[in-house]
Every structure is written in structure tokens, then in C-alpha cells.
């Protein structure tokens, strides 16, 4: 009987590999890599910043290096009620560069505009660009980021473009988080390829201004602690097309969680927002549950040979999903960390879901229910 469990797990993971591999290939085929140099749509980059005095300067420096005509680009920093020197840093940068604007939020928004959606909405409402790019103040973008994201929008039916984010190199913990982020992005990109939205990351998005207005902006998006997923779902429901590109030129870099407590808070927020995926979330639960049922079965029946075999199935499965993305974003240096990261992720899949018992979500010092 126990061997039926093992066979079922192997089949489930084979299906998992096939789904994500096919989806990613379909989505990568749609990536636009040529740009008509005579056409440069106007672009507005929105950067919500809350207590980011130590990170904002590096973010702006990376944006200033982008190979996009400065006359077609504006950068809008939205200071979201910061209590540090974010405002001073932002205004200092604005005084040096005429295409950088600073907006200051002094009051908390209500309804669908609570938290980060309110800052984004305020910035986008003041933007003049045809294409709106969004990133976070703790991110650094590559030189080709604006161009690569914008050229995916040549088809007027495309309302939103997402791309990958990696974690800045550093500690073992940071490297494991980076592997996890790439894996999450890969599955999300594959989902778009299969027309089954699984999520996106708000620190690396482009949205057409007309599409944003069409959905009523963030006022028309149901409030969520994962505002990026809510935006993606609303855009798709309105009939707009979406692209999710996997390319080194569009991959931004962010900072890792520095403590395990911060990491748990982050994943609690993702899980809480991810419940909006419905049956798609249930599929992810099935993947994790099948692995743990097999693992527990092997231990209780003292079939010690199956323990490393089950873990091997998980490792090989995740590596097969990860490999194309790691090559595409030029992060082959992460391969040595994949083994440790997969075991770390597998263990957490048993623990992190219990965080859903806590209804309150903490983000940037703010409490959301």
C-alpha cells in the first residue's frame, strides 16, 4: 500500500514538472527582443518609498543609468508617510534631476487604497507616461530594464508586463531566498504562459496607463496585502493580455530578509494574499502535501531507502523547473545553492502554513486585517 503513495507522489511531481516547463516555454516564445529605435513611448517610473532613506539613492542611481531617452522618461518618488529622512533624500535627488518628481503622502488612505496601493495610485494618477513602470525603493534595476519592459508593450492589447526579481548576493540565507524567488517567478511566468495567473511581484511591473484607468486604478482593485496579485487578476478579468518575461535585462535585484522572523512575516503576507488564487492555490497544496505524505509514510514504515529517494524527486523536479530560468537571467552561480534551498523550502512548507492562523498581516510597520 505504501508503494502506491510513492508512485502517486512521483506521478504528481512529473505532472508538476511538465506543467511548469511547458508554460515557461510558451511564455518565453512571446518575449519581444527587438526595439524600433524611432519609437519611444513616454514612460513614468513609480517608486513608493516608506522609510527607505538608506536604499532610495541606489535605486535612483540605477534608473539614471538606464538606456532610455531621458526626454521620454519621468521618475516619480512617492514618500509614503516616512518617519526617517526619506523625504529629504528624495527632494535632494529631485533637485539634481529635473525629470525626478517627489510626491508626499501625509495621511493613511482608506478602503482599497490602504497601504501600498494608495501610494502607487497617487503616483500613477500624477504620471504622464503612456507606460507605467513600478519598482520598490530597495531595488536596483539593470541598464536595459526600461527598454526591455516597454518593448513588451508594443502590442496594444497587452495591459501588464511582469518580470523576475532576484535577491542581492550575500549570506547563505540570502542565497537560499534568491533560489526560492527564482522558482516562484518561474512558476508565475509559466502560469501566464498557460493562461492561469499564479501571481507576480510588484517590484518589477509595467502597466499601460489606459489599462490602469480601464480597471478604475487601485480604487477598482479589491484590497489585498498582495496588491500585485490583485492587480494582475483584475487586469486579466477586464480582458487585457499579460506578459511575464524571463530575461537578464529585465531582472531587478532587491534586498533579502535579514532575520527568520522577517522572512516568516513576508511569507505570511504572501500566503494570506495567495488564498485569492482559489483552486490554483489548492494545486500547490497538493504538490506539497503529496511530498510530505510520502515522507511520513517512509518514516513510519521504516522504509529508510525511500527517504532520500523522495527528497531526490523533489530536488530533481525543482531543478528541472529552475534551470531554464537560471540560464535566462544569467544566475548560474545559484546552482550550488539549489540543493540546500530546496530542502529549506520543503521543510518550511510544513511550517509556514500555520502562520495563516494569525489573521493580522504586518508590512512596513503597518497592521492589516
Asked if residues 263 and 257 have their Cβ atoms less than 8 Å apart, the reply is yes
Q: Using CA atoms, how far apart are residues 158 and 366, in angstroms rounded to an integer?
A: 33
Helices (H), 46-108: 56-64, 86-96
Asked if residues 292 and 350 have their Cβ atoms less than 8 Å apart, the reply is yes
Task: In the chain, count H helices and then E strands.
Answer: 12, 11
Kindly give the pairing relationship between strand 366-368 and strand 252-254.
unpaired
With CA atoms as reference, report the closest residue to 188 among 266, 263, 273, 280: 280
- H/E element holding 23? helix 2-29
User: How do the pLDDT tens digits run along the chain, 369 residues long?
Assistant: 677 888 888 888 888 889 999 999 999 999 887 766 677 999 999 999 999 999 999 999 999 999 999 999 999 999 999 999 999 999 999 999 999 999 999 887 778 888 899 999 999 999 999 999 999 999 999 999 999 999 999 999 999 999 999 999 999 999 999 999 999 999 999 999 999 999 999 999 999 999 999 999 999 999 888 899 999 999 999 999 999 999 999 999 999 999 988 998 888 888 888 878 888 888 877 888 888 888 888 888 888 888 888 888 888 888 999 999 999 999 999 999 988 898 888 888 777 766 666 666 665 666 556
Mention every residue, 6+ apart, whose C-beta is less than 8 A from residue 49. 56, 77, 78, 79, 80, 82, 86, 90, 137
For residue 159, give the 3-state DSSP assignment.
Answer: strand
> What integer pLDDT is reported at residue 286 of this predicted model?
80
CA 209, distance to chain mean position in Å, is 20
Burial class (CB in 10 A: 0-12, 13-18, 19+), 280: middle
Q: Radius of gyration over alpha carbons of the chain, in Å? A: 21
Which phi-psi region, left, alpha or beta, contains residue 235 (left: φ > 0; alpha: ψ -120 to 50)?
alpha
With CA atoms as reference, report the closest residue to 254 among 206, 324, 207, 201: 201
For residue 129, give the 3-state DSSP assignment.
Answer: coil
Q: Helix axis angle, 260-274 relative to 227-237, nearest 10°?
A: 20
Q: What is the pTM of this model?
A: 0.92
Running DSSP on this structure, what letter comes out for residue 135? -
> What integer pLDDT is reported at residue 50 of this predicted model?
94
Quickly count: other Cβ atoms within 10 Å of residue 262's Cβ. Answer: 12
Burial class (CB in 10 A: 0-12, 13-18, 19+), 52: buried
CA distance readout (Å), 292 to 17, 87, 314, 317, 344: 18, 48, 11, 15, 14
Q: Which three cell numbers stand for residue 223?
A: 484590497
Amino acid at each position: 500500500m505504501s508503494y502506491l503513495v510513492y508512485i502517486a507522489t512521483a506521478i504528481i511531481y512529473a505532472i508538476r514538472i511538465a506543467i511548469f516547463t511547458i508554460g515557461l516555454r510558451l511564455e518565453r516564445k512571446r518575449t519581444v527582443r527587438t526595439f524600433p529605435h524611432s519609437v519611444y513611448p513616454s514612460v513614468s517610473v513609480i517608486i513608493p518609498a516608506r522609510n527607505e532613506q538608506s536604499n532610495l539613492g541606489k535605486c535612483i542611481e540605477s534608473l539614471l543609468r538606464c538606456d532610455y531617452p531621458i526626454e521620454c522618461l519621468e521618475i516619480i518618488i512617492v514618500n509614503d508617510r516616512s518617519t526617517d529622512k526619506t523625504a529629504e533624500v528624495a527632494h535632494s535627488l529631485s533637485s539634481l534631476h529635473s525629470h525626478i518628481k517627489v510626491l508626499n503622502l501625509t495621511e493613511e488612505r482608506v478602503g482599497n487604497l490602504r497601504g501600498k496601493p494608495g501610494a502607487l495610485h497617487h503616483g500613477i494618477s500624477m504620471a504622464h507616461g503612456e507606460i507605467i513602470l513600478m519598482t520598490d525603493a530597495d531595488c536596483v534595476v539593470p541598464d536595459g530594464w526600461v527598454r526591455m519592459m516597454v518593448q513588451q508593450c508594443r502590442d496594444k492589447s497587452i495591459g501588464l508586463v511582469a518580470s523576475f526579481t532576484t535577491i542581492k548576493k550575500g549570506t547563505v540565507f540570502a542565497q537560499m531566498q534568491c533560489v526560492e524567488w527564482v522558482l516562484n517567478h518561474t512558476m508565475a511566468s509559466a502560469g501566464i504562459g498557460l493562461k492561469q495567473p499564479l501571481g507576480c511581484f510588484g517590484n518589477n511591473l509595467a502597466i499601460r496607463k489606459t489599462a490602469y484607468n480601464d480597471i478604475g486604478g487601485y480604487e477598482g482593485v479589491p484590497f489585498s496585502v498582495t496588491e500585485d496579485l490583485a492587480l494582475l487578476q483584475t487586469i486579466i478579468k477586464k480582458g487585457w493580455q499579460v506578459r511575464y518575461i524571463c530575461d537578464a535585462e529585465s531582472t531587478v535585484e532587491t534586498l533579502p530578509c535579514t532575520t527568520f522572523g522577517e522572512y516568516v512575516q513576508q511569507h505570511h503576507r504572501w500566503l494570506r494574499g495567495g488564498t485569492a488564487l482559489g483552486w490554483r492555490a489548492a494545486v500547490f497544496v497538493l504538490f506539497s502535501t503529496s511530498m510530505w505524505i510520502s515522507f511520513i509514510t517512509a518514516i513510519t514504515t521504516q522504509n529508510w531507502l525511500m527517504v532520500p529517494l523522495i527528497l531526490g524527486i523533489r530536488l530533481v523536479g525543482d531543478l528541472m523547473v529552475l534551470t531554464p530560468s537560471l540560464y535566462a537571467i544569467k544566475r548560474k552561480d545559484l546552482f550550488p545553492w539549489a540543493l540546500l534551498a530546496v530542502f529549506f523550502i520543503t521543510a518550511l512548507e510544513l511550517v509556514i502554513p500555520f502562520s495563516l492562523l494569525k489573521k493580522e498581516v504586518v508590512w512596513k510597520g503597518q497592521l492589516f486585517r
